[in-house]
Amino acid sequence: MNEMITNAAVLREAKKPLSFEELTIDAPRAGEVRIQLKSCGVCHTDYSLAKGILDHQPIPSVLGHEGSGIVIDVGPGVSNVNKGDHVVMAPIAPCGQCGRCMNQEGAYCEREEKRGWGILPDGRTPLTDKDGNGVAIGFNTGFYSDYAVVPSTAVAKIPKDVPFEIASLLGCAVVSGYGAIVNTAQVQVSQSTLVLGLGGVGLSAVMAAKLRGAYPIIGVDTNKERLELGKEVGCDQVMTAEEFNNIKITDFNGGFDVIIEASGAVPVIEKCMSLLRRHGICVYVGAAESTYELKVPHLELVATGKRLCGCLTGEVRPALDLSNLAKLYSAGRLPLDIFISKRRPLDELELAFDDLEKGIGLRTLITWPK
C-alpha cells in the first residue's frame, strides 16, 4: 500500500470558486480503510460551508460527507470490511470502546468528541497538496475526492445489489430521519407521529415511521410537491404550514406521541411542544442557524414529562443502521429512488450547488464512472 494521487474539489476560501486539484492521499493506517468513491450526495451543510453560511470546518478542506464506494485497501487490525466490499460511510466513527459506545450512545463517542473537525482520530489529515501542505477532510470525511481514508468503524458493508447512488444517501440524509424515529424517539406501533419538513430527512423519517407501524403519520411542508411525496411514502395525512399553524392539541386526541422537527424553523419548536401529549417526544433535527431564543415551558415539562431532544445524524450506529437500511432498500421496503434528482461528475460540483440553491429536486449526486 502506497500513497496515491486523488482528484479532489478543495475549498480554499468560502464564497470563492472551488479549486480542483490533484492531492496526495495516504495509505490507510491501523483501523483505517481507503475507499474509491462511487457516489456522494450534495448536502445543505456542504453548500453552506462553501458559501460561508457555516464556518465550523477548517479550510482548506475537501467537503462531501454522504459517500459510498469500494474498499480498495484496509489498514492493520481492520476486520469488519475487506478489499472489494461495497460500502457506505457515516460522518461518525464510534471508537467502540468508550463508556458511551458501550452504552449504545456511539454517536456521542468520547473519542469523536475530542477529535475536532477535519482530521482522522489520530489527529492527522490523509491529504496533502502539491506544495506539501495538509488539506483537511471536511466533516472528517472528505468525499468530494476520487479516494478517501476513513476509520473502519465509520464504514458499513452493503449488499452488491444496492446501487452506490442509493447507498450514498444512507449515511446522512436518510439515516438522520430514520435514526430520529428508530434510535431517538424509538417509535412504537400505533404512535401518532408528526413530521415537519418533508425534505430528504423528513421523508426518511416518514418512511421509518411507517416501517415501525406508527399511526397516524402526518406530514407538514410549505411545498405542494413535497406534500405529494409525503403521501407517496407513508403519510396518512399532509398539511401546509399554514394549516399546521392553526391546529390545536385538542384536534389530535390529546396530542402527538412523537414530533420530528426537520424543517429548521426554530420558533416552530414551541408550537411542537404545545402539541405533544404527556411524555411525548419532540426530536429536533432541523439544524438551522438562528438567533431566535427558544422559550421552553419549563414547569410544564416537569408536570407533563414532555421531552425535547436533539439528535446527531440520527444517532447512527454505522455498522448496524446503515447495513439495515441497505437491506431494507434491497427488499423493496424503502422507496429511496425518489430522492435522486440529478447526477453530475465531480468537476461539476459548483453546478450541483446551483441545483441545490434553485431547489431542483431533493438530491443532486456527484457520481464517478462505473
Using alpha carbons, select from 228, 235, 225 the residue that is nearest to residue 204.
235
CB of 153 to Zn ion, least distance (A): 9
CB of 100 to Zn ion, least distance (A): 6
Please, what's the b/e burial string for 197-216 (b: 16 or more CB within 10 A of its CB; e: otherwise)? Answer: bbbbbbbbbbbbbbbbebeb
Q: Between 172 and 196, whose beta carbon lies closer to Zn ion? A: 172
Q: Between 75 and 94, whose beta carbon lies closer to Zn ion? A: 94
Distance, in Å, from the CA atom of 286 to the CA atom of 12, rounded to the nearest integer, reads: 27
Chain-centre distance for alpha carbon 52: 20
Q: Between 155 and 273, whose beta carbon lies closer to Zn ion? A: 155
CB of 141 to Zn ion, least distance (A): 10
CB of 20 to Zn ion, least distance (A): 22
Four-point Cα dihedral 95, 101, 106, 109, nearest 10: -60
Q: Which residues contact 11 (CB under 8 A, 6 or more apart)?
A: 18, 19, 49, 50, 59, 60, 61, 62, 63, 138
CB 284 within 8 A of CB 265: no
How far separated are the first and last CA of the chain, in Å rounded?
A: 23
Q: Between 94 and 234, whose beta carbon lies closer to Zn ion? A: 94
CB 21 within 8 A of CB 140: no
State the Cα angle at 297 between 296 and 298, rounded to 5°: 95
Q: Between 77 and 213, whose beta carbon lies closer to Zn ion? A: 77
Q: Between 18 and 107, whose beta carbon lies closer to Zn ion? A: 107
Q: Between 63 and 71, whose beta carbon lies closer to Zn ion? A: 63
Residue type, 236: D
Using alpha carbons, select from 6, 31, 263, 293 the residue that is nearest to residue 153.
31
Which helix (H) or strand (E) element contains residue 349? helix 349-357
Count CB atoms within 10 A of the CB of residue 58. 17
Which residues sit at the interface with Zn ion, rule CB under 5 A?
Answer: 43, 94-95, 98, 101, 109, 172
Q: Between 101 and 349, whose beta carbon lies closer to Zn ion? A: 101
CB of 306 to Zn ion, least distance (A): 28
CB of 169 to Zn ion, least distance (A): 10
CB of 366 to Zn ion, least distance (A): 13
Using alpha carbons, select from 127, 131, 173 the residue that is nearest to residue 150.
127
CB of 154 to Zn ion, least distance (A): 12
Residue 36 C-alpha cell reads as 474509491
β-sheet bridge partners, residue 156: 88
Q: Between 276 and 311, whose beta carbon lies closer to Zn ion? A: 311
